[in-house]
A and B are shown apart, each in its own frame.
Chain A
Amino acid sequence: MNRRRRSKFAGTKINPTTFHRSQVKFYLILLPICVFMAVPIIFVIGQAFKSLGELFMFPPSIIPLRPTTINFRTLFLQSSIMAIPMWRFLINTLIVAVSVVALNMVVTVSGAYVLSKKKYRFTRVFFKMNQVALMFVATAVTIPRYLVVSNIGIMNTFFGHILPIMAIPVGLFLLKQFIDVLPDALFEAAKIDGANDFYIVKSIVIPLTKPALATMAILSFQMTWGNTETSNLFTTEEAMRTLAYFFNSLIAGAASVIGGAGIAAAAGLIMFVPNLIIFIFMQSKVMSTMTHSGIK
């Protein structure tokens, strides 16, 4: 009896190390879902590399027969004849993205350390508030956010792009959970050696929370790179807008142009690929952070 149970357990093992015939049924469910998830992306990649003729072909092929970079060239050409060249938007986006990622990290790691290791009343209250804010949906309060931004005088500045998206409750939450697991003894020892809080964050917390910091960097980068909200609402000067916004308005205009689909696909691809590459390189760090994501 006992032996039968053991063998049954071996068959139902979670996280198996080898392939077993019993796994076939899982693949049979997973693969169709995979196709559904992947086809739209593969199709749009194909569209980006199709020539005008192929874009109009019936039936449309998913993979381009004769791939061409004409759509990308048209995209760059179209933007270079405009009053503001595309590189201006790209530089704006890079300035904003780098600032948000870096500043968000500094601000969040010091905040998360305090919330995790200091037992004051204000730390408990603030962490609860942040936990409630996990359910914050920025688009629900677009107008009040606009009122705040215009009243503190950061419209049409880089601050208007950076500050409103710098506080990311999910980031603080994940990082705090990650720091919670670090042993208290480590911090007490450092304190006895005379280390102050800044030193502790710099030389203990940051080196030991690298996976969580990487995850946060990915999250904040994705949020910034594809963000059109700040350009749309907090900027009225054309030259201060970002690449995502520019592409988006280009696509809206391109919808009526012949071959617009190819240009739109090319722009979408440019926005998607950096996210994908960064995630592929960091995915093991993200997964190890997510282990600590639970809300207790």
Chain B
Amino acid sequence: MEGVENKKIRKYSRDRRIEFFSSLGMLAPYAILFTLFIAVPVVIAIGLSFTVFDAVQRPTFAGMLNYITLLTQDEIFVRHVLPNTFLFSIIVGPGGFILSFMMAWLLSQIQKGPRTVIALIVYAPSMVGGVFVPVIWRMIFSGDRRGLVNAALINWGIVEQPIQFLLSPTWIMPIIILVTLWSSMGIGFLALLAGILNINEEYYEAAYIDGLNNRFQEIVYVTIPNMRPQMLFGAIMSIVGAFTAGAIGVQLTNVNPTPQYAGQLILNHIDDFGLIRFEMGYAAALSVVLLLMIWFFSKLSYSLFGEKPDE
């Protein structure tokens, strides 16, 4: 009798072991790729940021030198790149997120048929693909009379000579922001739309019986609290989108640096040092600063929409 029990226990523990190793094995392919191409590059960036490295000789340890240079010597970074990146990421990140939410909410207020069509039109620009977005907008803001905007302005008699939009330090930043917002309604936007549509109608009904009066209250007290997880996902996607699009200024103007550094963002600065000047250690320090910025914005999103422990 006891022998049978023991056998059962042994078989059970063997099954458990098999299950453990098969789980490990099934996660392994993804985990290896994840480690190699996502985790390791981040670790390398952090490591290189403490070195001087010209891509030819071995990196030599330099302590905090790159970071000190960044803050005290790199005038372009402090005077142009940092403020530009800050302005750009605030408007395109949180601003783009609010815009996505507003669009999703407006769409949830109309019928399914027109909603599907409009949602497709809004989502379509995000499918153009990073490389071809600047191609389209270069045609629209082209500095001669054939550019769509210049043609319209001349035709309506607002200006006489075409404006050199893409070469102008005043215009380049607003254009970069406009173009990025245009192409930013991606899966974050779809997640928000799905989240709003998925809220149980009875919550609204109950809230109105409890004394809700208008749509604004509806958004604040019913919609947002009930789709916090989607809000968080949407926020992260907006932030990632904003920083991924950070090379757009150079793509639009076709020169790095952009005219008078007016459209220079941190990604361009990284490319400038990493791929043009081959100061890899310094470029890595810039990458770390960029990753910290993304991390900061994400933390902010988590504290706004993440699950609170006391709830």
Contact = CB atoms under 8 A, between A and B. Distances in A.
Interface stretch (B1-9, B36-44, B74-82): B36-44
A44 interface: yes
Contacts of B221: none
A177 B73 CA distance: 47
A82 B205 CA distance: 66
Contacts of A130: 34
Contacts of B194: 287-288, 290-291, 293
A107 B30 contact: yes
Nearest to A142: B274
Contacts of B305: 295
A167 B267 contact: no
A41 B125 contact: yes
B246 interface: yes
Interface residues of B, number: 111
B182 A110 contact: no
Contacts of B129: 222, 225-226, 244, 271-272, 275
B146 interface: yes
Given A40-B137, A134-B236, A276-B127, 20 more contacts: A12-B218, A27-B114, A34-B122, A36-B182, A59-B145, A107-B33, A122-B24, A130-B34, A137-B294, A139-B247, A140-B290, A147-B41, A148-B36, A148-B41, A163-B37, A271-B132, A280-B120, A287-B190, A293-B229, A294-B228
Contacts of B42: 136, 141, 144
17 contacts: A12-B214, A13-B204, A14-B199, A34-B122, A43-B136, A43-B140, A107-B29, A139-B267, A141-B45, A143-B284, A144-B284, A152-B36, A247-B131, A261-B139, A267-B132, A283-B116, A287-B193
Interface of B: 19-20, 22-24, 26-27, 29-31, 33-34, 36-42, 44-45, 48, 103, 106-112, 114, 116, 118, 120-125, 127-132, 135-137, 139-140, 145-146, 148, 151-152, 154-155, 182, 185, 187, 190-191, 193-199, 201, 204-205, 208-209, 213-215, 218, 223, 227-230, 232-233, 236-237, 239-240, 243-244, 246-247, 254, 267, 270-271, 274-275, 280, 283-284, 287, 290-291, 294-295, 298, 305-307
A111 B26 contact: yes
A136 B38 contact: yes
B232 to A, nearest CB: 4
B191 A293 contact: yes
Contacts of B107: 30
Main DSSP-derived SS at the B contact region: helix
Nearest to B299: A135
Given A115-B27, A152-B36, A201-B26, A144 B155 contact: no
B108 A15 contact: yes
A17 B284 CA distance: 54
Given A244-B129, A283-B120, A295 B140 contact: no
Sort A-B residue pairs by CB-CB distance and give the 7 closest, nearest first: A294-B229, A226-B129, A290-B194, A111-B30, A144-B41, A144-B44, A167-B33
A246 B30 CA distance: 30
A59 B118 contact: no
Tell me the dominant secondary structure on chain A's binding face: helix
Contacts of B267: 139-140
B230 to A, nearest CB: 5
Contacts of B191: 290, 293-294
Nearest to B297: A135
B128 A268 contact: yes
Contacts of B39: 129, 133
Interface in A207-244: 219, 222, 225-226, 228, 244
Contacts of B31: 111, 126
